[in-house]
Amino acid sequence: MRYSKIMPWMIWLLAVLFFAYQFILRLSPGLMMNDIMKKFDVDASDYGYFASMYYYGYALMQIPIAILLDRYGPRVIISICVFVCAVATLTFIYADQWIVVLLARFLIGAASAVGFLGVSKIISMWFSSAEYGKMVGLSFTFGLIGAVFGGRPISSLLDIFGWHDVLFYVALVSALIGVLIIIFVRNPKNFVAAADGDVVHKLKTVCTDYRVLVIALASLLLVGPLEGFADVWGITYLMKAYSITKPEAASLTSFIFIGMIFGGPILSYIAQKYKAYYQLTFLCGVLMFALFIFLIVAREYISFYTSMTIMFVIGVCCCYQVLVLTIGSFILPAAFTGVTVAFLNCINMLGGSFFHMFIGRTLDFLWTNQTENGIRVYDLESYSIAISIVPLFCLIGGFLFLLVKNKSRA
């Protein structure tokens, strides 16, 4: 009896462990930018394309992973994805050709797609429906610890041991998680595989509902502060803007993820209490717009600790994603929630690809022919112009939510 009570938590914990781990894989390129650009002799556009490959893989596999989880359960699918991450990371370390590096990055993103979806599936299988919201919030809190660890701690390890050694041990950790999942994760006895026809019908319904399409586009536009800035380009920008070290810049961007730890429960509580999901998401977009403009325009007058506070508030606002998933669950009947969440996550992650490629290409367009040790050097003004797309689209995305405000029960 005691084991039966502990088992769901143990299974959930292993899934959350991988959810946290994949944040380290996701954030690592932002800490290794110069090393990668030097080794493969690439410019900012190429690097932006490299960073975007993770999001292409992650986005394109959202719906297939959701379908596979419904068909085969979490144990098989999560373990396969974990081992793919390990192999792809090792491939990335030892590859000499740029095309192989791009493929490895794509596979890491594709396998990481199971992170949140696997956790969500395990919660729905092993916990009651009344506990679902609480467990999702708890999962985000634990998962984002991986994002925080992927900042300054990993940056310090990279400075000490070098990126090859650090990524090698990261790959070993992935393999260890995979072994633990194979040993301990199980499908419940009442697990029933989903039928193909049912999945196709749900997917068609979700993809043809204009309300879902609008909030998906709005969510994509709002993702710039997280996936465009915090994940990759923010560290280099902050180093230039405030003349700080890479570990200090990584600490600043980590406060976005710390803010997200608190933002999920805070925004969910406010939205539920006042039934203001659309309005609150709009306010998140406007606030992120204002904070980013202030961060760029007034950088000479902002202290390190003020920037830390700004990053924290931006992180709280980045949890608009929790509100988006809730809105999506209100638009269509409960039976469509799984596919709706996968579709919204898919479009949301494509935003990362868009922002990385746009920022990279803008930097190359504004490049002043400066180089250092064979690497292109981009000045602060160029970075500021390239990153300005982030607040602009935050504002547009926020207003899009008001367009569909009265079209559902949220």
Angstrom distance (rounded) from CA 147 to CA 247: 14
Average pLDDT in the chain? 87
Instruction: Give the residue-averaged pLDDT of 72-78.
Output: 90
- Nearest C-alpha neighbor of 257 from the set 53, 60, 30: 30
Angstrom distance (rounded) from CA 144 to CA 315: 11
Angstrom distance (rounded) from CA 59 to CA 201: 20
Least confident of 59-68, 130-139, 203-212: 130-139
- pLDDT the model gives residue 1: 42
**Would you say 253 and 238 are in contact if contact means Cβ atoms under 8 Å apart?**
yes
- pLDDT the model gives residue 194: 62
Per-residue pLDDT tens digits for 291-321: 999 999 988 888 888 999 999 999 999 989 8
Token pair recorded at residue 374: 């064979």
At 195, the pLDDT band (50, 70, 90 cuts) reads: low
At 290, the pLDDT band (50, 70, 90 cuts) reads: very high
Instruction: Give the residue-averaged pLDDT of 373-398.
Output: 91
Least confident of 317-321, 328-332, 335-339: 335-339
Token pair recorded at residue 168: 């090698």
Per-residue pLDDT tens digits for 24-54: 888 887 778 888 888 888 888 898 888 889 9
Residue 152 has pLDDT above 80, yes or no: no
- pLDDT the model gives residue 35: 85
Q: Say if residue 133 is exposed, middle or buried (CB neighbours under 10 Å; 0-12, 13-18, 19+).
A: middle
**Would you say 49 and 40 are in contact if contact means Cβ atoms under 8 Å apart?**
no
- pLDDT the model gives residue 197: 60
- pLDDT the model gives residue 73: 85
- pLDDT the model gives residue 196: 58
Please compute, for residue 331, the number of CA atoms within 13 A of its CA located in the half-sphere on the CB side.
Answer: 30
Per-residue pLDDT tens digits for 246-260: 888 888 998 998 998
At 11, the pLDDT band (50, 70, 90 cuts) reads: very high
Residue 407 has pLDDT above 70, yes or no: no
- pLDDT the model gives residue 187: 79
Residue 408 has pLDDT above 60, yes or no: no
Q: What is the dihedral of CA 368, 371, 375, 377, to 10 degrees?
A: -50
- pLDDT the model gives residue 285: 96
Instruction: Give the residue-averaged pLDDT of 107-129.
Output: 88
**Would you say 367 and 379 are in contact if contact means Cβ atoms under 8 Å apart?**
no
Range ranked top by mean pLDDT from 122-136, 208-222, 227-241: 208-222
Token pair recorded at residue 135: 């467990």
Q: Which residues contact 253 (CB under 8 A, 6 or more apart)?
A: 30, 151, 229, 230, 234, 235, 238, 311
Q: What is the pTM of this model?
A: 0.81
Instruction: Give the residue-averaged pLDDT of 145-159.
Output: 78
Helices (H) and strands (E) in the chain, counts: 20, 2
Q: What are phi and psi of 243, to 5 degrees?
A: 50, 50
Residue in the structure block whose two tokens are 């902050």: 238
Residue 101 has pLDDT above 70, yes or no: yes
At 193, the pLDDT band (50, 70, 90 cuts) reads: low
Angstrom distance (rounded) from CA 188 to CA 320: 32
Q: Which residues contact 217 (CB under 8 A, 6 or more apart)?
A: 347, 397, 400
Least confident of 21-35, 220-234, 372-386: 21-35
Q: What is the dihedral of CA 333, 334, 337, 339, to 10 degrees?
A: -70
All domains in the chain, ordered by first residue: 2-403 (1.20.1250.20)
Coil/strand/helix, residue 375: strand
Q: Which residues contact 25 (CB under 8 A, 6 or more apart)?
A: 54, 85, 89, 108, 112, 170
pLDDT > 70: what percent of the chain?
Answer: 94
At 410, the pLDDT band (50, 70, 90 cuts) reads: very low
pLDDT > 90: what percent of the chain?
Answer: 39
